[in-house]
Each structure stands twice: as structure tokens, then as C-alpha cells.
Amino acid sequence: MSEFKCTLWPSGEVLSVNTEETLLTQLKQAGKKIKSSCGGCASCGDCMVVIKSGEMNLTPQSFEELRLLGNVFHITKERLSCQTKIIGDVTIDISAHEKNSFTGKGEKQVPKSTTTILKKKEDLEKSVRENEEKNQVKPTDDWYRHWEKEGEDPNKPRKLGGNKKPKAFNYTDADDKKDKE
């Protein structure tokens, strides 16, 4: 079992990695927070890392990885850490995972979507009443429920403008000559 250096970007931290385990497993063993929803099955794409240097020192992409990411590694330099094994010295960028889990000061970030807005009961009842009043107002448009207009005989068939025969298209040889010119 060979040992190689894996430099983490942007921190510059160097890890000693082996060729037997995947990059995801070794990063988690080193205490790095790498998101992975599928548990290493190559079905989520969350554990993606960017290879900064040493791309020739990685195992070839597996079928599952190609199916998920496509064959654009030479452009994006992105690999799934759950499918990648290291066979030489590499530098990888895991900054996307660090941004999602921690701030630079070591405190956990709170997503904006978890913020709770508290309203007083009176304000809540007032907004509910306003919404109910707004929804009860009927549109003044003439089209609104036009089939229930007053004063019309319900037995009389209505002409809605359909079932018309199309007009014949008048085409002459002169038109054909114009098109060719």
C-alpha cells in the first residue's frame, strides 16, 4: 500500500493518503466535512471536488461517475471524491464544502431560510381578513362567467365563433414566378 501527499486548497494542509480507499473516505477520516447524500454510491454528485494539479495521478473515471458528471473533466477538473482513488501526489480544492458548513472563524453558518418571522396575533388576523376580502372581490371583466349572463335564453344555441370553414387559398402561377425572382 503506497502513501502519497494530497494537498488541500486553499488551506495548504497536506494529508497522507493511500491507494486503497476513495478520496471521500480518506477526507472524512481526516476530519474534513465533505457533503455526500448517497453515501459514496455516485448517485448524488454532492461530494464533487476540483482537481487543481496532479490529475494524471488519479484513477480513471468510473461508469457511474461519467454517467453523473459527463466526460468534461478536461474542462471542469471536477471529480466525485467517492469514486476517485489517488495514485500519486495531487492538489484538490474542497473550498465549496467548507463554505457550506463553516465560516472562516470556526462558527457554523445558519442558512437564511431557517429564519423565523414572528407576528402578533392581531397582525396575523388582520392580514388573513385582508386576504379574504381581496379574494371575495369579483373581477369586473365582461368575460368573467360569461356563460351565466342574465337575460339570455338558456335553450338558445350560442355562437362562439368556432366551426367555420377555412377560406380557400388563392394561388396563381404569377405568385410562383414572384417567389422565384
Helix (H, G, I), strand (E, B), or coil: what is residue 125?
helix
Q: Report if residue 87 sits inside a domain.
A: yes
pLDDT at residue number 90:
93
**pLDDT for residue 79:** 92
pLDDT digits (tens), the chain, 181 positions: 678 888 888 888 999 999 899 999 999 999 888 888 888 888 888 899 999 999 999 999 999 999 888 888 888 899 999 999 999 999 999 988 876 554 444 445 555 555 667 778 888 889 888 888 877 766 666 666 666 666 666 677 666 666 677 777 776 776 666 666 6
Kindly state whether residue 46 falls inside one of the protein's structural domains: yes
Considering the domain boundaries, does residue 140 fall inside one? Answer: no
Sequence-distant (≥ 6) Cβ neighbours of residue 96 within 8 angstroms: 48, 50
Q: Do the strands 48-53 and 90-93 form a parallel or antiparallel pair, or are they unpaired?
A: antiparallel
Q: How many domains does the chain have?
A: 1
Q: Are 37 and 94 in contact (CB under 8 A)?
A: no
Instruction: State residue 25's pLDDT score.
Output: 92
Asked if residue 151 belongs to a domain, the reply is no
> Residue 144, SS3?
coil
- Residue 132 belongs to some domain of the structure: no
CATH number of domain containing 25: 3.10.20.30
Q: Cα–Cα distance between 81 and 7 in angstroms, integer?
A: 14
pLDDT given at position 9 = 84
pLDDT at 70: 87
Q: Is residue 60 part of a domain?
A: yes
* Domain-located, residue 127: no
Q: Where are the alpha helices (DSSP H) in 30-169?
A: 63-69, 73-76, 95-101, 121-136
**Does some domain include residue 45?**
yes
What integer pLDDT is reported at residue 145 of this predicted model? 66
Instruction: Tell me the residue range of the domain where 61 lies.
Output: 3-103
Instruction: Kindly state the cell numbers that stand for 109.
Output: 453558518
